[in-house]
A = this chain, B = another copy of it.
Amino acid sequence: MDPFVALADPVRRGLLVRLARGSARVVDLTAEQSISRPAVSRHLRVLSEAGLVTAEDRGRERHYRLERDGLAVVTDWLATLEQRPRFDESVLDGLDLEVRRTGRDRRTAPDARAAHPSQEDTA
């Protein structure tokens, strides 16, 4: 299960916030969520399959716990996004505009658009 999808639901985020304070049983989690217990149970299953929580059975009750390691895949992805490239194509992009304008006047270098390929032919 995709952890990004798991985090998209506000109820599930609420459950995670609650579990960040410590493990809890399903009934306890349900009491704070104003939705039915089966709904909470399914949300917990999604979170579990996403690797964001783990469950431990103790007799007739099941204790869910936040699995912080599961957050790594999300934080790592975000970290790569925050890294700006060694050479931002957007400057290329602006440069491209200049070339094209010049091309309009000089009527040369029509291959300027090769910089950002818009292959309509393949589509």
The contact string, 1 if C-beta is below 8 Å from chain B, for chain A 54-89, is 000010000101101001001101101111110011
Q: Is A24 an interface residue (CB 8 A)?
A: yes
Question: Interface of chain A, helix or strand or loop or mixed?
Answer: helix
Is A116 part of the binding interface, using a Cβ–Cβ cutoff of 8 Å?
yes
Please tell me how many copies of the chain the complex holds: 2
- A110 contacts B by Cβ under 8 Å: no
At the interface, yes or no: A49 with Cβ under 8 Å from chain B?
Answer: no
A73 to chain B, nearest CB (A): 11
**Which of B8, B28, B66, B97 is close to A58, meaning CB atoms less than 8 Å apart?**
B97
Q: Which 7 A-B pairs have the closest CB atoms?
A: A22-B89, A8-B8, A23-B90, A22-B90, A27-B118, A22-B88, A5-B8
